[in-house]
Structure 1
Amino acid sequence: MTGTDEHGLKIQKAAEERELEPLAFCDELSQHFRGLAVKANISNTRFSRTTERDHHQAVHHLWRELDSKGLIYKGSHEGWYSISDECFYTDSQIIHVEATPSTEEHHISTETRSRVEWTREENYKFRLSAFQESLLAHFQKHPNAIFPPQHHSDIIATLSSPMDDLSVSRPSSRLSWGIPVPNDPEHTIYVWIDALTVYLSATGYPWTATGGSGKQVGWPPNLQIIGKDILRFHAIYFPAMLQALGLPLTQQLLTHSHWTVDQRKMSKSVGNVADPIQAIDEFGIDLVRFYLARVGGRFKDDVDWSHEQLDKHAREITSLLGNLLMRITSKKIQERTEGKPLTPAAEAFKHMKEDSPTLPLYQTFQGLGGKVEEKMDQLMLADVLEDIVITLGKVCASQNIISVISPFDSTQANQLMTNTAPWAATTDTQTVIELYVCIIECLRICGILLQPFMPSKAEMLLDALGVPAEERFIANANLGTGSVGQIQTGIRLFSLPQRQKTM
């Protein structure tokens, strides 16, 4: 599931600046993100909005459940509040920034660098501290509950230190755009309690029709994907609420780092903002997706967005995959193999001579599907693409396949084919057939494995190879576990933007 969190002071103020009613402003924003998902070729089972009536009712139900257990009480609260982050920070989590000729002195969060203001108010609190020990025990027992490991360690450290109860409401005089506290219209439920409940409401919580467990509708999730700046909310606040409700916790949190520009967090005021729409329009979504996963798919550290690197990686996969498909399915090679008996790849490999130029390539991709499946389970997306690129690179390496070309060196592309010259009349037919069968099998396997990353181009590739729809699953991504059909010629997978000439 995905969707839009639409309540809170930040949204309220942004709507006021646009002179729009908050709901009309959110309708516009929600549609924008739906459009981005479509443009990015991202599917979802459920797109949830926190302004939906069913979600509103779910939040009220959750609040009443917590209140009935004596876990909510009214008290005073003060601290450094960030409107953009919608949360309070302690003294140890803020930095004083001296005044400059153009700015007044102020304070910012050490975690997000957003501006904070000292705020004191009466509100409702949730007895978060009552769940500190049980949460600590849970994460100590489940070392893979948060990935990458450094974030798991951070949460363990946080839970090992004294913990205050959590403010779960704001005075409605300050925050009117949100869900009111049941039976107390003078208070609005804290936006993060509202936002976190969407994971439950998206599955139909409180599940009265299914007996209340949620298991029948997919609870708990096996994976939630979040940014590192909101880990505390998803690894401490939300699990505490779930424990209070007697519900199972999310099995694993994938906590990704951020994309930066010039090694700085993107900021409209600074002007270092990368535009994904512009990149998609220029390169096409599949090449952008490939770049994002290839460079950012290790999640551990922030990664700098670079148009030059996007161009470089786009040309990498175009050379290794697109050019290879065009060459092996060329009319000339089709003419040389047409009507000839083609030994299936697995059988050809089984009886291959040790000096065959295609033997090392077979050895590279015969277990590729299993290796990729294992790394996908371990959330190692960049490593998966590295394995696929190396496999394709070995097709493009020298004939003896001793060294792998640099992934970015397109000058050696398809060197194996060049050295073998299957289109030449002087190359014996058996050599042509061996090379053809090997490379087609390699493309079939890589096409299946690239589907999560480059769905449109992978589909084009598999269509060009005549791979049946029912044979495009991970189980088919190993040597001899699938088939090809009528091979199409002249298929151009990619169309790159022209490089601008420099003086």
Structure 2
Amino acid sequence: MEPKKTFYITTPIYYPSDNLHIGHAYTTVAADAMARFKKLTGYDVRFLTGSDEHGQKIERSARERGETPIEYVDKIVAGFKQLWSSLNIDYDDFIRTTEGRHKKVVQKVFQKLYNQGDIYKASYKGWYCTPCETLWTEARLENGNCPDCGRSVEPLEEESYFFKMSKYADRMLKYIEDNPDFIQPASRRNEMVSFIKSGLEDLCVSRTTFDWGITVPFDDKHVIYVWVDALTNYISALGYGEENDALYQKFWPADIHLVGKDIVRFHTIIWPIILMALELPLPKQVVGHGWVLLDSGKMSKSKGNVVDPLVLIDKYGVDAIRYYLLREMPLGADVIYSEEALVHRINVDLANDFGNLFNRTCAMANKYFKGRLETPDAPEGPDNELLELARTTPSEVIDFMERREISNALAAILRLVGRANKYLEETAPWALAKDPAKQDRLNTVLYNVAEALRFATVMATPYMPGLPGRAWPLLGIEGQPHLHTWESLQWGKLPDGTVLKRGEPLFPRIDPATLGEA
């Protein structure tokens, strides 16, 4: 048997300075949906997430709380994992930069770059932004502040090791130009090209002013700085450089690094140049998504405007929250979050369309046939349009997902649901039920809608993984996993004699008047 095609997707490793908010949830839900989709469509998938746990900021925060850095990060990382569990995130590995397996690889990478002359020691004089953990030259500051976050910077002078990034600038520029899909969307690619053209400086890759980190293997006064430490997670988690590197051999290079737009530069310039210097393949694509914003602007702890996804999950359910994030936010764009928009999206798409179609179909099947549906008659009239849309939607969803257009993929699935709702209005089963001569036609109509619901549920599984467990019992096929697969999306697979059941609404309608209530 031919081996499955592989797919390796990563999220950023999140920084445990505090609990995560809905913006982080979006990144990880989007990566999870892509991983689940690839798995559903026959790929061998590896999905990595994790935590970036070293640095001065962590050391200071731990000290302020009277804790050791590892005590401090252990608690926050436990919160990360609880959030991912609550959001139904099915990662294959969670890498922590404090783990021994990571430390070994980071030191190996640093030593190799030093041995080949790509890392050298010099004195550093510049400006340091603690929140961003970034060192800047005077020329890069904007109005004397950090160009990334706008906050104040501290003067810094220390002996450091530097990575010869400037040596690889032309090669990196050529790579981006030769591989136009490497950075997505195109707007981010243009930003990175102009950043390289403005002149790449060599990169400070060690620090001596704090201890919380991985020591330089040949100089223990120095701690390896974030760039080499954090970014290496994508290969250390695969066992790169180890005797058993089967995962690395199988899955590298990554198919997608999914990151927020604020860290695109690190993933499309610094990380690829490190890989070039190591003579390793570059990731196939870096996708920089937008931010989840509020009317008041970007979410931040200091503004006190952070939206806690756990609160929303408790209130509305995990599938509804995942659906909202993925449907509302085209991958490259910013989206303004509001609870009103969330409730509107749940009510219109999920309660009124998807959930209501299940309710009506199961109720009518039970009312007219005690739930039991037989093999349908040959299609006629409006049947053909529904059948044709059901046949073409799966390939349309695949095309959208290949282009990372998750929102459009969901819209295509909901178009099928909407067409099935319209089909019920066109065929009026409640009128057919009044005519004993039209019982076969009534059975055919309800069978067609039930089959459309099966199609929609299979296709919606990566985005709302809790849905099938609730939907299959209603369609009477919970014990028939062969009907839950992507390969089963061929019209007419719903078996003769299937019994539909009535149940609780899949997506209860939310009263907008309850907005803001805990």
Regarding TM over 0.5, the answer is yes
Say whether the 8 Å CA contact 2:57–2:131 is kept in structure 1: yes
Amino acid at match of 2:104: Q
Aligned to 2:311: 278
Amino acid at match of 2:351: T
Aligned to 2:228: 193
Say whether the 8 Å CA contact 2:206–2:225 is kept in structure 1: yes
Amino acid at match of 1:476: S
> Equivalent residue of 1:329, what SS?
helix
Aligned to 2:399: 374
Say whether the 8 Å CA contact 2:331–2:406 is kept in structure 1: no
Aligned to 2:189: 152
Say whether the 8 Å CA contact 1:280–1:288 is kept in structure 2: yes
Provide the C-alpha distance between the structure 2 equivalents of 1:458 and 1:254, rounded to a whole number of angstroms.
29
Say whether the 8 Å CA contact 2:50–2:94 is kept in structure 1: yes
> Equivalent residue of 1:79, what SS?
strand
Amino acid at match of 1:13: R
Aligned to 1:175: 210
Structure 1 stretches of 5 or more lacking a match? Answer: 97-106, 400-413
Q: Spell out, residue by residue over 1:57-114, the C-alpha distance to the aligned partner (whole angstroms, 9 max, x if none).
A: 1111111111110111011223332111111234464333xxxxxxxxxx54343334
2:387 maps to 1:352: no
RMSD, matched Cα: 2.4
> Equivalent residue of 1:366, what SS?
helix
> Equivalent residue of 1:55, what SS?
helix
Structure 2 stretches of 5 or more lacking a match? Answer: 1-47
- Judged with a 3 Å threshold, the aligned counterparts in structure 2 of structure 1 residues 239 and 480 are, in CA distance, closer, same or farther, namely farther
Aligned to 1:103: none
- Judged with a 3 Å threshold, the aligned counterparts in structure 2 of structure 1 residues 18 and 488 are, in CA distance, closer, same or farther, namely farther
Say whether the 8 Å CA contact 1:315–1:496 is kept in structure 2: yes
Say whether the 8 Å CA contact 1:56–1:179 is kept in structure 2: yes
Provide the C-alpha distance between the structure 1 equivalents of 2:360 and 2:129, rounded to a whole number of angstroms.
57
Provide the C-alpha distance between the structure 2 equivalents of 1:281 and 1:339, rounded to a whole number of angstroms.
35
Provide the C-alpha distance between the structure 1 equivalents of 2:268 and 2:178, rounded to a whole number of angstroms.
14
Q: Of the two structures, which has the highest relative contact order with CA contacts closer than 8 Å and spacing of 6 or more?
A: 2
> Equivalent residue of 1:282, what SS?
helix
2:193 maps to 1:164: no
Task: Provide the aligned length of Structure 1 versus Structure 2.
Answer: 463
1:298-377 alignment runs, 5 A limit: 298-316=330-348, 317-330=350-363, 333=366, 335-336=368-369, 341-343=374-376, 351-353=378-380, 356-377=381-402
Amino acid at match of 2:253: P
Q: Spell out, residue by residue over 1:169-204, the C-alpha distance to the aligned partner (whole angstroms, 9 max, x if none).
A: 111xx2211111122222111122111111111111
Provide the C-alpha distance between the structure 1 equivalents of 2:180 and 2:149, rounded to a whole number of angstroms.
26
2:153 maps to 1:76: no
Provide the C-alpha distance between the structure 2 equivalents of 1:162 and 1:38, rounded to a whole number of angstroms.
43
Of 488, 501, 515, which aligns to 1:489?
501
- Larger Cα Rg: Structure 1 or Structure 2? 1
Displacement of 1:6 in angstroms is 0.4
Say whether the 8 Å CA contact 1:361–1:395 is kept in structure 2: yes
Provide the C-alpha distance between the structure 2 equivalents of 1:41 and 1:257, rounded to a whole number of angstroms.
22
Moved more, 483-492 or 465-474: 483-492
Aligned to 2:283: 250
Displacement of 1:167 in angstroms is 0.6
Displacement of 1:136 in angstroms is 1.6
Aligned to 1:457: 467
> Equivalent residue of 2:172, what SS?
helix
Of 115, 123, 127, which aligns to 2:164?
127
- Judged with a 3 Å threshold, the aligned counterparts in structure 2 of structure 1 residues 197 and 483 are, in CA distance, closer, same or farther, namely farther
Provide the C-alpha distance between the structure 1 equivalents of 2:215 and 2:416, rounded to a whole number of angstroms.
57
Say whether the 8 Å CA contact 1:72–1:127 is kept in structure 2: yes
Identity fraction in percent = 30
Of 160, 171, 175, which aligns to 1:138?
175
Aligned to 1:421: 430
Provide the C-alpha distance between the structure 2 equivalents of 1:263 and 1:393, rounded to a whole number of angstroms.
35
Say whether the 8 Å CA contact 1:369–1:475 is kept in structure 2: no
> Equivalent residue of 1:144, what SS?
coil
TM-score, normalised relative to structure 2: 0.83
Amino acid at match of 1:276: P
Displacement of 1:16 in angstroms is 1.6
Provide the C-alpha distance between the structure 1 equivalents of 2:496 and 2:127, rounded to a whole number of angstroms.
62
- Judged with a 3 Å threshold, the aligned counterparts in structure 2 of structure 1 residues 178 and 367 are, in CA distance, closer, same or farther, namely same
2:421 maps to 1:396: yes
Moved more, 303-312 or 141-150: 141-150
Aligned to 2:249: 215
Say whether the 8 Å CA contact 1:5–1:50 is kept in structure 2: yes
1:257-268 alignment runs, 5 A limit: 257-268=290-301
Provide the C-alpha distance between the structure 1 equivalents of 2:81 and 2:61, rounded to a whole number of angstroms.
20
Of 67, 71, 89, which aligns to 1:42?
89
Say whether the 8 Å CA contact 1:333–1:422 is kept in structure 2: no
Displacement of 1:501 in angstroms is 6.1
Say whether the 8 Å CA contact 1:332–1:423 is kept in structure 2: no
- Judged with a 3 Å threshold, the aligned counterparts in structure 2 of structure 1 residues 359 and 236 are, in CA distance, closer, same or farther, namely same
TM-score, normalised relative to structure 1: 0.86
